[in-house]
Amino acid sequence: MRRQAREAAPMNWRINGPTGDCRIALGRFPQDLAEYCPTGPAVVVADAAVYARYSSLFPRAPLVELPPGEAAKSLDVVRQLYDKFLAFECDRGSLILAVGGGVTCDVTGFAAATYLRGMPCGYVPTTLLAQADAAIGGKTGVNFHGYKNLVGAFQQPRFVLCDPALLKTLPAAEVRHGLAEVVKHAAIADADGFRFLESETERILALDDAVLPRLIGDSIRIKTAIVNRDARESGERRLLNFGHTIGHALEKTPGAPHGEAIARGMAATARLSVRLGSLPAADAARLLALLERFGLPTQTALPRKVLLDALAKDKKRLQGTLHFVLLEKIGQAVVRPLRLEELAAAWDDLPQL
């Protein structure tokens, strides 16, 4: 019944960007793959844990397995991919298919974007975080010396095929990490979607088939609309960094999982927004309450020196100023240039909500 309902109401989006066009859809893996690469992929790059669970679904093609987790987002892994592309005699017409979470899509996309100055690629994201956020938008990259996505490129994949059925085997912690990005999209651009998250918390945590299409689709809709207006993050796309500036600092320092770090970053940024007079305290309280209902942390213990060191190396910094995303109300955010000294002063005097 779930498949029939989804086929009766297909959900499709498109990004038209300077590095190419991308089709994004909720669909079925592998049944719908032929629509996007009719001759099949030239090489499949897969998260090893995903391949172990779903190997029977994979198309016939040379396979490269990546280690699961953030450790795969490195230049060493990119070099290994280059070696495989060379051994498989890939050319500029060879389509590289990434199957896995956000890490797999990011590192594979970066390797494809830079090998032979660019090969086409497609994504089958297998986590909620990747389906709702990481695989959408054309950002690729790897970490460098512990700093998130410090080396990367903008390159749209040819397609992103999201199958909600693949989420059913995710550990509960992975679901929560993805929900952090879902909350982010609603908080910055969709007040009605935020109310949906508040009212359907239990069914969302249960990955109920009745709510999954909207849960994923709302995030894709918001992100594709923003990316279509600002492909290279020169303006509006900066809104998508809500919670990420502090979140990435947290992720680097204590090594927190991405979703937990972003949740803490959003909570801290909501408090900062109240401190700077941008956000009503009641709206900040709603955001913190929703994060907690999804089992995400909202407390941030980060010394000023550690925070400033991480922010000073943030890739969005320009001459000591950060384009910092503050909330104005639930469903509306603003990018405000803030100097590191301003952030430090506000950090020392956060309101306790």
- Cα(223)–Cα(15) distance, integer angstroms: 10
- Residue of 73, 84, 139, 184 marked catalytic: 139
- Residue of 244, 264, 271, 275 marked catalytic: 244
- Residue of 148, 177, 237, 271 marked catalytic: 237
Q: Is 200 a catalytic residue?
A: no
* Positive/negative CA dihedral, 335, 222, 146, 156: negative
Q: Is 323 a catalytic residue?
A: no
Nearest to 333 by CA among 343, 324, 342: 324
Q: Is 168 a catalytic residue?
A: no
Q: Can you state the percent helix, strand and coil of the chain, rounding each to 5? A: 50, 20, 30
Nearest to 335 by CA among 273, 261, 249: 273
- Residue of 84, 185, 223, 275 marked catalytic: 223
Q: Is there a contact between 75 and 106 (Cβ–Cβ < 8 Å)?
A: no
Q: Is 258 a catalytic residue?
A: yes
- Residue of 143, 241, 260, 264 marked catalytic: 241
Residue identified by tokens 């956060």 is 350
Please work out, in degrees rounded to the nearest 5, the angle formed at the alpha carbon of residue 214 by the alpha carbons of 209 and 215.
Answer: 85
96-100 and 121-125 beta bridge pairing: parallel
Q: Is 177 a catalytic residue?
A: no
Q: Is 198 a catalytic residue?
A: no
Q: Is 145 a catalytic residue?
A: no
- Residue of 148, 184, 221, 233 marked catalytic: 233
Q: Is 214 a catalytic residue?
A: no
- Residue of 258, 264, 275, 286 marked catalytic: 258
Determine whether 320 is exposed, middle or buried from the number of CB atoms within 10 Å of its CB (0-12, 13-18, 19+). exposed
Residue 251: half-sphere exposure toward Cβ, Cα within 13 Å: 25
**Positions marked active-site:** 117, 139, 181, 223, 233, 237, 241, 244, 248, 258
